[in-house]
Structure 1
């Protein structure tokens, strides 16, 4: 899995439940399984809410995006995992939206 833009680390405890407002405006929440140093997936945050998902597939090499990635992350996170959150600028969010627009559930959330 690839890395997303580096941002300022968010030290607060992160709750990725549906509808939760996060303690930062724009950024990402990366999921690492067990002791792995490579990411298993990313959540993209805009205006304090998770609006996009990218995840590695169970089989194959094509990344999952959007709703399929959200479901995959939820199933992966049943096992031991850790979440790392990073806050981005609005322009960094826009850059990610240009590269992987498929990650966003709604097209309105792609605006950086």
Structure 2
């Protein structure tokens, strides 16, 4: 026959304290960066190959190569295309932009 487990008085007194420390320990707090998943992390933004900056860089390429190089830095940055109530036909403007970007 097995003998029942016996605990010393010191251990019995310490168990509630250990349980309190374990329960009172705060959970890992998330930072905003950990809580928000960036769905676009591996995506690249569209850079217009025929932007005005690119056209200007190409125009300066032979006569002003240093300025053309600086303009290329600007031309290689993605830009926004704002569309709103000032557009006469928003649907057509969006469709045209998507067609130009996708080459459709």
TM-score (structure 2 length as normaliser): 0.23
Greater CA radius of gyration, 1 or 2? Answer: 2
Higher relative contact order (Cα pairs below 8 Å, separated by 6+ residues): 1
* Greater percentage in helix: 2
TM-score (structure 1 length as normaliser): 0.22
